[in-house]
Structure 1
């Protein structure tokens, strides 16, 4: 069965979600993601390998924004692996976000936040008391956005720093065409298309070499991400150049099965180059590097069909030799602790986007036929409308949530659990605050894709958390932070979060909802994973 739905809507939906979050952050709702610059006498100065940076000293933490971890990938460095940052003299201002990487702001408005190619920077959040003598564990966060949109500065990590007592690093990386164009003239050595992935590796090396100066422990690094960020983490688990750069991993809502292979990516990239006037292979590299960035905002789309596809990392290359799902299935991954999970209603957000774009949904049989082809009847038999109160939106979302998010995550967790501790969760707050437009659809978004992020990061764009949700947020921050510290989410005075175990189909998962947290063992059955395993 073709895995169409995630590829079809994910880049639009994640981009819209990101843009709504950004809009909320810019709206003056009291939850600005970056504290205002502090007076000079309250600033903090840290020496990096490239030069000194001055950040902001805020109550309980320090934050350093826009630190270059690589040289600007412009001119001859465009579509090259990231080069070392250019050293600077004096003290560099690190009190405001740097440029966002170029992205199509028609679907992800930047709300006055400028974009530009000189965007390979990161932000560091460090709690009070963290020093070289008393270092804290580190979480490196890779943002989502379908490899097309997003930025590091959306994710205000003050809660993880202050309540969790860990250092958090959020990373910008090249997106879209500039991050993943796999034209063979640009990569004759076999490393086609993975510039954004190489950026993430460079950021991890920067953390290894510099984080001690900020009070972080370079031997206790966890790489983490959501959506495309979690897909990136899957890639880092199998990429040779990522080996040894982290000791644990967190994957949130990552459809890691959505990867392009090298022949497909190169074919699409050749067609893409021709479409922008660079069709001659002999001069394509020079021609492409001479184009202004705004000519390259339309991305090469590798995975899917027609216009409903994704770009992203390319497997079968030197940097990513093997598809991560295959490597995980064959137990060819580092034996590191993993925290992994999905949201109970992942696809309701994407279905809501479809509803809003088209002012309604097609009839249920047509939706299923368009999405699942010859398997539509079998899907309808397993997800009948009457089970969902006659709601096309809920029935369709349940089917795709299970087929594209829950059950692939179940396979990943099962594969990883053979060699290392795996801690699995499901985010189940069906009343999670969603941005206003999603409340206009005739079915609840519930625990939709990306909505758990607000419980870990101080992100605007939605109504504030109520007291019960604030308590759940505190619990999640504590679990995540403890996992970063020790490789196990062992939290005093909270329900014990057991390891998944080798039999993932009936293994324990922590259900994250308001009220009492619970342990469930019916995840695979509830999401009909035996059915999806036969598709």
Structure 2
């Protein structure tokens, strides 16, 4: 699975895959000092108890609110249980603990993480008013890293007059280990996915107390978070918990089936000392936490070894791409898109760590590792000569098209048969990127996760220039209008038509700092007909 920028940045400063630079850890404070609104706006009564949040001139923030019981002890490797009630007023001015991270890919360099991590953050407008529409944001990070606190939602809140909820969910082994001893047949793994469902139920039951409209909830995410959104479109336990969906940069076809996940999970358990199937469940639940920090992995995309939600299971009976193709997804409006150069981020990370991987002699091997029996056909379609002999550029283009762009194009066409679909491509090929990525011997362009800087205030990111700030404002308007109205049409912005059901010459919004525009050649520019005709 692809990782978001905040997870990937750290690879550029010597960490293993997935870490990020320290400057990103905490969002910056508002720069305009203004007296706080009336203090009573800082108190909200939830179903579990009262919370006191932080009130600023342009927003309110209620952070670290538990939406489920701590998944510890006998609750480890089980679906989330209801959050316990508390007495008095609970402080909600600081984010709660992050879920356990991959120790070699921690985006916040070891800052507090814990099993007791099922908490969320609610960003609201500063002043009360009519019930606002709500976006529930699911973070990316390869299902092994990241947290909700990285995403400062004040821009969407203040400019778009919506509510933003960012969540934590169990990651890595604790979130997705699918050992058959952990539950009834077929009902193992997917604990992290079920955490997300519990958070959506919490929003349904509590968001009105924060000024939100529980009937206008949009579930959204990027990368692993976007894959999660794909799952929620088809998961039985997610039905009715949202009325619209946003899928950003998600290779939704790359998920493990239950037999594969169980095999890898049994192997993992044996390696940590729980090899006896008769005692494996108790053994795994009683292990010291440090024994389970290394994430279980089920499959690979390029050089990334990944885990995540398991298909063919009770929680996720059918993989989302198949279900969507069979018109079995939730019939809700969808905003879906990718970045023009998705895979350059991962090639950059590997190049900086192992530069020799991308020699011309290795190109056929890279293609074989990624595309198997189709490697020769892919190599002929993406010859090095078309990219000036530059292996990183050729390989990035192939994986971008085959794993990201054309999967999203196909899903958009399929989803358009049952509901409105609005498709985009983020196409700022000079988007702010980490310094190390600006000195590579190939361009990174509009790489994976770089659009996030245009939607969220992410501390440590390079400032946007004036045309990019204009694009950011435009994207905020589009996203907030979709959250509010299930359509991205925004006053003063170019019209964004829906994808049709015929699958030919589809309109995609190309988001560019020199002027966003509708294009109809997305499938041609990413060679989607070629990918559609490759043997499965």
> Shorter-chain TM-score: what band?
over 0.9
Residue equivalent to 2:106: 108
Q: 1:247 — aligned with what?
A: 243
Equivalent in the alignment of 1:442: 441
- Equivalent residue, structure 2, for 1:84: 82
Give the equivalent residue in structure 2 for 1:423. 422
Query: 2 CA distance for matches of 1:434 and 1:20?
Result: 15
Given that 1:21 and 1:462 are in contact with CA atoms closer than 8 Å, whether structure 2 keeps it comes out as no
Q: What does 1:265-284 align with in structure 2 at a 5 Å threshold?
A: 265-284=261-280
2:290 corresponds to which residue?
294
What is the CA distance between 1:381 and its match in structure 2? Answer: 2.5
Q: CA deviation at 1:345?
A: 0.3
**Superposed displacement of residue 75, structure 1:** 0.3
The 2-side partners of 1:302 and 1:323 are apart by 15
Relative to structure 1, is the Cα distance of residues 27 and 191 closer, same or farther in structure 2, using a 3 angstrom cutoff? closer
Deviations 1:86-132 (A, max 9, x none): 1111111111111010012332252462000110000000013344x
1:359 corresponding residue in structure 2 = 355
- Assess if the C-alpha contact under 8 Å between 1:505 and 1:525 holds in 2: no
Q: Distance in 1 between matches of 2:21 and 2:497?
A: 36
Q: Using the TM superposition, give the Cα deviation of residue 367 of structure 1 relative to its aligned residue in structure 2, in angstroms.
A: 2.4
Match of 1:398 in 2: 397
Moved more, 281-290 or 239-248: 281-290
2:8 is matched with: 16
1:130-529, aligned counterparts within 5 Å?
130-131=128-129, 134-304=130-300, 308-364=304-360, 366-372=362-368, 373-529=372-528
Residues in 1 aligned to 2:78 and 2:237: alpha-carbon distance in whole angstroms: 15
Q: Distance in 2 between matches of 1:325 and 1:31?
A: 41
Gaps of 5+ in 2: 11-17
1:230–1:251 CA contact under 8 A, matched in 2: yes
Contact conserved, 2:3 with 2:140, CA < 8 A, in 1? no
**What secondary structure, in the 3-state scheme, does the structure 1 residue paired with 2:165 have?**
strand
**8 Å contact from structure 1 (residues 20, 435) kept in 2:** no
Change (3 A) 1:119 1:40: farther
| Pairing 1:97–2:95 present | yes
Provide closer, same or farther for how the CA distance between residues 369 and 306 of structure 1 changes in structure 2, counting only shifts above 3 A. Answer: closer
**Relative to structure 1, is the Cα distance of residues 306 and 472 closer, same or farther in structure 2, using a 3 angstrom cutoff?**
closer
Q: Which runs of 5+ in 1 are unaligned?
A: 1-6
2:53 is matched with 55
Deviation at 1:527, TM superposition (A): 0.2
Structure-2 separation of matches of 1:150 and 1:118 = 15
Quickly say closer, same or farther: Cα 1:127–1:498, change in 2 above 3 A.
same
**Which residue pairs with 1:4 in the alignment?**
none
Relative distance call for 1:82 and 1:26 in structure 2 (3 A) is closer
- For each residue in 1:411-453, what CA deviation from the matched residue of structure 2 results, as whole angstroms up to 9, or x when unmatched? 1101100010000000000010011222231112110000000
Secondary structure of the 2:365 match is: helix
1:229 is paired with a residue whose SS is helix
- Is the Cα–Cα contact under 8 Å of residues 340 and 413 in structure 1 kept in the other structure? yes
Distance 1:39 1:471, change over 3 A: closer
TM-score by length of 2: 0.93
Whole-angstrom distance in 2 between the partners of 1:32 and 1:278: 49
Pick closer, same or farther for the CA change 1:474–1:109 going to 2, 3 Å: closer
* Preserved CA contact (<8 Å) 1:102 1:293: no
Deviation at 1:492, TM superposition (A): 1.2
Instruction: Say if 1:128 and 1:100 are closer, same or farther in 2 by CA, change over 3 A.
Output: same
Matched position secondary structure for 2:181: coil
Aligned residues of 2:103 and 2:294 also touching (Cα < 8 A): no
Once the two structures are overlaid, the 10-residue window that deviates more, 219-228 or 525-534, is 525-534
Partner deviation per Cα, 1:356-392 (whole Å, 9 max, x = no partner): 0113443235223333344333223222333323322
Deviation at 1:394, TM superposition (A): 1.3
Q: 1:263: how far off?
A: 0.9
Work out the CA distance in 1 between the residues paired with 2:356 and 2:432: 22
Could you tell me whether the CA contact under 8 Å between 1:26 and 1:32 is conserved in 2? no
Cα shift at 1:309: 2.4
SS of equivalent residue, structure 1 residue 426: strand
CA contact (8 A) 1:212 1:218 kept: yes
Larger mean CA deviation between 177-186 and 392-401 belongs to 392-401
3-state secondary structure, aligned to 1:320: coil
Instruction: Give the whole-Å Cα distance in 2 for the aligned partners of 1:237 and 1:404.
Output: 20
Aligned residues: 522
Distance 1:146 1:112, change over 3 A: closer
CA shift, 1:219, in A, is 0.2
SS in structure 2 of the partner of residue 495 of structure 1 = coil
Q: Is the 8 A contact 1:43 1:56 kept in 2?
A: no
Give the direction of change, closer, same or farther, for the CA distance of 1:394–1:14 in structure 2 (3 Å limit): farther
SS at match of 2:378: helix
Once residues 279 and 30 of structure 2 are traced to their aligned partners in structure 1, the CA distance between those partners, rounded to angstroms, is 46
- Distance in 2 separating the partners of 1:231 and 1:41: 39
